Chains A and B, each alone.
Chain A
Amino acid sequence: MSSRQEFFTSRWGMILAVIGIAVGTGNIWRFPRIVAQNDGGSFLIPWIIFLFIWSIPLIIAEIAIGKKTRKGTIGALSEMAGEKFGWMGAFVGFVATAIMFYYAVVAGWCINYLYSSFSGTIVTTADHVALWDSFTAGYQPLFFHAIAMLIGVYIIYRGVVDGIERWNRILIPSLLVMLLILAVRALTLDGAMEGIAYLFTPNLERLFDHRIWLQALTQNAWDTGAGWGLILTYAIYLRKREDIALNAAVTGLSNNSVSLLAAIIVFATIFGIAGAAGVEELEIGTGSTNIGMAFIFLPQLFTQMPGGPLVQSFFSSIFFLSLSVAAISSLISMIELAVRVFMDMGLMRRNAILIVGSLGFLFGIPSALSLTVFYNQDWVWGVGLMISGGFISFSVIKFGADKFRREVVNGEGSDVQIGKWYNYVISLLIPLQVIVLIVWWLYSSTQWDPEGWWNPFGAETLGTCLFQWGIILALFIGFNKVIVRRTMKHTAKRT
């Protein structure tokens, strides 16, 4: 591990690392479920539109901010929007770090199920609900959470080139190969084509339903990693000669390509094994939640796959290896973000990794031991990501959208020139989408629980969001001067 500033050694090394951020469990366990719950083909049209008016513009902004400022989220947003807005960068960094605490738990679940697939437990189990319940009721999630954090910390400890770049060069192509193997198997099952037809059959009337548009925007906001501050952090390590806009387009389109491949695998498998009744399971049954789909419903299907236990174990192992790889490649970016924020405050990289690794393990313990805490944290910080996207857009507006486009996005190293349309998207469309999304989510939460929506200690209430966001925002706004001064002092020394 070197203490000097490292850079990605090649364009493709950088792109694979950023795809590693974008492609996570959300592509595999959330996208197919959301497609099923929103009428298949009808959902795909708004989903594509939001790729171009949410994900790619925000990825462009993040890469450009990271490459220009060479600072983590606090320093970067302080430099872009002004030092009195450094707390926004702190909030962006905190949201991604809070997600890291429980995301390491998810990565641990995937590793455990990978082990269970190898050992044959998955295919010999008759009751997958009981298997999941017995796993989460004990201390095993804690053990696997620790393993996930250790893997993530080890990769980050190796550095940007030997850790992040090298591992993503292995992980992402392997993930793609594994998904292709699963796709070939799924598409050759009897009845698989009915699943493909379901996936792509449009119901044009549903396009007038606002909920489909909001779900499509939410899916893009959650599964591309745009607006989280993670891509901004990796962009610090971009060489001056590297392009911004074209690399952002490659990242966004690759991410959605993987989502589509995952949906093809899931729908072909469901129709091939369970028939049309399987879709009902995804819509309202055991597969209607991320956890239910990945750890209960799909394992049930693997046990019914033709070819006997060995073949079933093989495909189950490949599925959970894919899920584990997707989780780890995203987890390391969350660890790197937090490490970078501490480094910007003057800590040595080694010490920052030690602190983040320890905090990641400790603050992940409640989510590892209690699904209620896990759901609460997922709810609070998942919705908090919308605010992060808004803060990144705000920093560009404060800097000057046109100046940002001309001098930074279209600056040194750019392969393609972005037109004035970008000014309107980043300064008008993105803030509008943030406002609509937050208002809708908050309004919906009052509808789901009309009696207890205000409760600050509820698992998934509006009250708990406002309570936790409020504490964090009050702390960062209160200590803004201290945090920003320390960050700017040390980053100025470095440059």
Chain B
Amino acid sequence: MDTATVITMIFVLGIVWGGCFYVVSLAMRRERRKIANEK
């Protein structure tokens, strides 16, 4: 794989899969905090 392909792969997977992982973990943290506040 050439450099441009590797950079594109990291860029695309980083934004889509990395972004997905980030928002899911953020949602989990916020949900835990919300539940703790409700108790």
Name A's B-contacting residues (CB within 8 A): 11, 15, 41, 44-45, 48, 51, 193, 196-197, 200-202, 241, 243, 246-247, 249-250, 253-254, 256-257, 260, 415-416
B1-39 CB mask vs A (1 if < 8 Å, else 0) is: 110111011011101110110011011001100100010
The contact of B20 among A41, A250, A415, by CB within 8 Å, is: A250
Q: Nearest Cβ in chain A — how far from B24, in angstroms?
A: 6
Q: Please, which residues of chain B bring their CB within 8 A of the CB of A415?
A: 26-27, 30-31, 34
Q: Please, which residues of chain A bring their CB within 8 A of the CB of B13?
A: 260
Does the CB pair A254–B20 fall under 8 Å? yes
Q: Which 9 A-B pairs have the closest CB atoms?
A: A253-B20, A415-B30, A200-B9, A249-B23, A201-B5, A257-B20, A41-B8, A200-B8, A202-B8
Q: Please, which residues of chain B bring their CB within 8 A of the CB of A11?
A: 27, 31
The contact of B5 among A197, A241, A247, by CB within 8 Å, is: A197
Question: CA–CA, A253 to B23, complex, Å?
Answer: 8
Does the CB pair B2–A201 fall under 8 Å? yes
Question: CA–CA, A48 to B15, complex, Å?
Answer: 8
CB-CB under 8 A for A246 and B30, given A253-B19, A253-B20, A254-B20: yes
Q: Nearest Cβ in chain B — how far from A192, in angstroms?
A: 12
Does the CB pair B23–A202 fall under 8 Å? no
The contact of A196 among B9, B23, B31, B38, by CB within 8 Å, is: B9
Q: Please, which residues of chain A bring their CB within 8 A of the CB of B11?
A: 45
Q: Please, which residues of chain B bring their CB within 8 A of the CB of A246?
A: 23, 26-27, 30
Question: CA–CA, A416 to B17, complex, Å?
Answer: 20
Does the CB pair A260–B26 fall under 8 Å? no
Q: Nearest Cβ in chain B — how far from A308, in angstroms?
A: 32
CB-CB under 8 A for A250 and B8, given A201-B2, A257-B16: no
Does the CB pair A260–B16 fall under 8 Å? yes
Q: Nearest Cβ in chain A — how far from B13, in angstroms?
A: 7
Q: Please, which residues of chain A bring their CB within 8 A of the CB of B38?
A: 241
Q: Please, which residues of chain A bring their CB within 8 A of the CB of B34?
A: 241, 415
Q: Please, which residues of chain B bring their CB within 8 A of the CB of A196?
A: 1, 9
- In the assembled complex, 29 residue pairs joining A and B whose CB atoms fall closer than 8 Å, in A order, are A45-B8, A45-B11, A45-B12, A196-B1, A197-B1, A197-B5, A200-B5, A200-B12, A201-B4, A202-B4, A241-B34, A241-B38, A243-B27, A246-B26, A246-B27, A246-B30, A249-B23, A250-B20, A250-B23, A253-B19, A253-B23, A257-B16, A260-B13, A260-B16, A415-B27, A415-B30, A415-B31, A415-B34, A416-B30
**Contacts beyond the supplied A41-B8, A197-B5, A257-B20: 15 A-B pairs with Cβ under 8 Å:** A41-B5, A44-B8, A48-B12, A48-B16, A196-B1, A197-B1, A200-B1, A202-B4, A246-B26, A249-B23, A254-B24, A256-B16, A256-B20, A415-B30, A415-B34
Q: Nearest Cβ in chain A — how far from B35, in angstroms?
A: 10
Q: Nearest Cβ in chain A — how far from B28, in angstroms?
A: 9
Q: Please, which residues of chain B bring their CB within 8 A of the CB of A200?
A: 1, 5-6, 8-9, 12
